[in-house]
């Protein structure tokens, strides 16, 4: 997938007018790329469209209109766009009760390294987490992580051919696995070149 450039973005005034419809379209698009793995961990598999909305929203919120500021946002978010042999995801760990959240994030330290995508008959594609910066420390994991999953050519061919795809977490404090719905698998398969 090609990275975003300033030419792919709307000017603030244009985005303001287009925003309601654009957001509705992208939110519907995101639903086809969102995977709940158990009750408290969600992966949003990013692509060019999801990143475009994130950049547009950041420009809007921060009122950025200068070329250098726009480029900084693109530089920050373009790494979330898949490169053709991988999937990239934002991982959200969610607990509504603050006290429970603190306790569980402590128990789940290192969970970001135990998330995987698997195609039957192949090894797990384990998450490569937080390449831009550490988000966890020696006492707890963060509630948000950025993940990359790398795939071999045979794995990609299997996914594109309709093989089932599993997404799971194998951590002592959090274990869950889900088989992707066909429409989600097909949306992710489009990320591969």
Residue spans of the domains in the chain: they are 1-31+48-81, 33-46+83-193
Name the CATH code of domain 33-46+83-193 (choices 3.30.70, 2.120.10, 1.10.357, 2.60.40): 2.60.40
pLDDT for 8: 96
> Nearest-5° angle of CA 162, CA 124, CA 3?
70
pLDDT for 86: 97
One-character DSSP codes across 96-142: SSHHHHHHHHHHTTTGGGGEEEE-TTS--EE-EE-SSS----SS---
pLDDT-derived band at 114 (thresholds 50, 70, 90) equals very high
pLDDT for 130: 87
- Find how far residue 187's CA is from the centre of its chain: 13
Quick: pLDDT tens for 53-66. 999 999 999 999 99
Nearest residue to 86 via CA among 155, 30, 34, 33 = 155
CA distance 110 to 138: 9
pLDDT-derived band at 100 (thresholds 50, 70, 90) equals very high
For 91, the token pair is: 């991982």
Average per-residue pLDDT in the chain? 95
pTM, whole model, 2 decimals? 0.91
């Amino acid at each position: 997938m090609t990275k975003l450039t300033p030419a792919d973005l709307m000017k603030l005034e244009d985005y303001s007018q287009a925003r309601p419809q654009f957001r509705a379209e992208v939110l519907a698009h995101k639903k086809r790329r969102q995977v709940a793995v158990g009750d408290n961990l969600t992966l949003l598999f990013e692509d060019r469209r999801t990143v475009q909305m994130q950049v547009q929203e950041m420009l809007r919120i921060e009122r950025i209109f200068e070329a250098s500021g726009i480029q900084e946002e693109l530089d920050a978010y373009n790494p979330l766009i898949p490169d053709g042999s991988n999937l990239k995801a934002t991982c959200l760990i969610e607990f509504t009760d603050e006290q429970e959240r603190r306790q569980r994030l402590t128990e789940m330290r290192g969970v970001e390294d135990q998330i995987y995508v698997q195609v039957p008959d192949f090894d797990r594609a384990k998450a490569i987490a937080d390449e831009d910066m550490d988000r966890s420390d020696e006492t707890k994991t963060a509630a948000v992580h950025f993940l990359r999953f790398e795939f071999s050519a045979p794995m990609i061919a299997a996914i594109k051919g309709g093989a089932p795809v599993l997404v799971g977490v194998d951590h002592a404090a959090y274990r869950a696995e889900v088989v992707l719905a066909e429409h989600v698998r097909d949306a992710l398969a489009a990320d591969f070149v």
